[in-house]
Structure 1
Amino acid sequence: MDSTQQFWEDFYRDKDQVWSGKANPILVNEVAALTPGTALDLGCGEGGDAIWLTQQGWRVTAVDISDVALERAAAHAAEAGAEGITWERHDLAKSFPEGRFDLVSAQFFHSPVAVDGERDKALRRATEAVAPGGTLVVAGHAGWPTWMEEPPHKDVRFPTTAEVLEALALADGEWTVERQEVITHDFPGPEGQHGTRSDNVLRVRRSG
């Protein structure tokens, strides 16, 4: 096990549950109107997005680097009666799921231990996995919450939508940018502090 996988195994092992178990609101908003087909969930964590997508009729392949996360996600899916999700472990800097998908989702695809260029490389590979007529949705934080004075990971950088779009290196005439936006929402702190956080949303569609 290399240091990147070890980081994420420890990250999930440290708590019985890290995330809420609900689907990311940005994903829900961006794909609710799409016709369900095949979906690839990159960095699926504990499975909230994959379970929701399956419940909407999508056939989902869900990927994470952490065995702990995948085991927990599969258990949550079983509890929810969400059947048919394919769970795969990948370090996306080294391997990638096979096939092409009608939807590829990369929600909050950040890592404090990523090597420079790894994220961009994985997202470019994600574009290759989008089927003709399919959609890629990339959501990411635009910065730390406004109430946070000392960020826990000072080396984490939050790319803008323009930087993500440039990194994707989309072929001219083959893709349409359907949404490129920064969304600011209320985000209270753990001790009830008032504050907000901004997130980047990029949705692109491959011509069919």
Structure 2
Amino acid sequence: MSDTYLGDPAVRAEWDRRYADRGQLWSGRPNGALVAEVAGLPAGRALDVGCGEGADAVWLAAAGWDVTALEVSGVALERAAGHARDAGVTVGWVHAGLVEAQLAPGSFDLVSAQYPALLRTPDAAAERALLAAVAPGGTLLVVHHAGMEDHEPADGDFDPADFVSPSMVAALLDDGWEVERDERRPRVAPDGGAGAHHVEDLVLRARRRR
């Protein structure tokens, strides 16, 4: 795994701090919405956006997917790589922000963004990067915590208004896409880990027609 980082150094530093503050930030198990939505898809090339400590990427790789996992935190990537080695699977790790990574267009049969912390910009750069990465016939899956729009940030916490939501991604889908799922539903949450207190998900799943 290369030490080269593509992205905002301040964003990297913030997420490195959050991961370094705890020996394990997440549960270590794949996200329930990912497992449910991907179960019927044929394995292909997958992009895990904001892979964290690697549970989703490792699960996808074990299921036969050729996985590229993207993450801004070097601390998280080191943990993720260790989990992949322990599981005996191979994952391509990319130390970069989504926009800065400049992924080749149409490269992935599945683009998964589970609770992503993608900053909003006037030109919707992150949303457009998600869509652009999906291959014709491929699937885009964006999952986020429901109710975040009502969340009041505490000191030092993230403001949800600064980040991309599934509805912002959905707003960019044209007739080249088929929306297969756009709903709010109970979250299948693994025990432990940050975010475990959220009980409902917003799930957007869309297939690229061309």
Normalising by the residue count of structure 2, what TM-score does the alignment of the two structures yield?
A: 0.81
Give the counterpart letter for 2:185 in structure 1: I
Instruction: Indicate whether 1:73 and 2:73 are aligned.
Output: no
Query: 2: CA distance between counterparts of 1:121 and 1:155?
Result: 19
Give the counterpart letter for 1:136 in structure 2: L
Contact 2:32 2:188 (8 Å CA) reproduced: no
Normalising by the residue count of structure 1, what TM-score does the alignment of the two structures yield?
A: 0.82
Calculate percent identity across the aligned residue pairs.
Answer: 43
Residues 125-183 of structure 1: CA distance to partner in whole angstroms, max 9, x if unpaired?
11111111100000001125x9x9985736223766443311xx2232x1100001101
Contact 2:33 2:188 (8 Å CA) reproduced: no
Give the counterpart letter for 2:93 in structure 1: W
Instruction: Indicate whether 1:177 and 2:205 are aligned.
Output: no
Task: Report the secondary structure of 1:40's partner residue.
Answer: strand
1:123 CA drift (Å): 2.5
Residues 2-59 of structure 1: CA distance to partner in whole angstroms, max 9, x if unpaired?
2111000111111111111110000000111000011000000000000000111100
Contact 1:42 1:107 (8 Å CA) reproduced: yes
Query: 2: CA distance between counterparts of 1:40 and 1:95?
Result: 12
Q: 1:159 to 1:43 in 2, by over 3 A?
A: closer
Q: Which residue of 2 aligns with 1:98?
A: 104
Task: Report the secondary structure of 2:117's partner residue.
Answer: coil
Contact 1:184 1:196 (8 Å CA) reproduced: no
Q: Which residue of 2 aligns with 1:137?
A: 141
Compare relative contact order (CA 8 Å, sep 6+) and give the higher one, 1 or 2. Answer: 2
Correspondence 1:99-118 to 2 at 5 A: 100-110=107-117, 114=119, 116-117=120-121
Alignment length (residue pairs): 195
Give the counterpart letter for 1:15 in structure 2: R
Query: 2: CA distance between counterparts of 1:196 and 1:122?
Result: 24
Query: 1: CA distance between counterparts of 2:104 and 2:66?
Result: 14
Correspondence 1:1-208 to 2 at 5 A: 2-82=9-89, 84-98=90-104, 100-110=107-117, 114=119, 116-117=120-121, 120-143=124-147, 153=157, 155-157=159-161, 161-166=166-171, 169-172=172-175, 174-185=176-187, 197-207=199-209
Query: 2: CA distance between counterparts of 1:9 and 1:177?
Result: 35
RMSD: 2.9
Larger radius of gyration: 1
Query: 1: CA distance between counterparts of 2:141 and 2:158?
Result: 26
Q: 1:185 to 1:47 in 2, by over 3 A?
A: closer
Task: Report the secondary structure of 1:181's partner residue.
Answer: strand
Query: 2: CA distance between counterparts of 1:65 and 1:186?
Result: 26
1:185 CA drift (Å): 4.1
Task: Report the secondary structure of 1:103's partner residue.
Answer: strand
Give the counterpart letter for 2:159 in structure 1: D
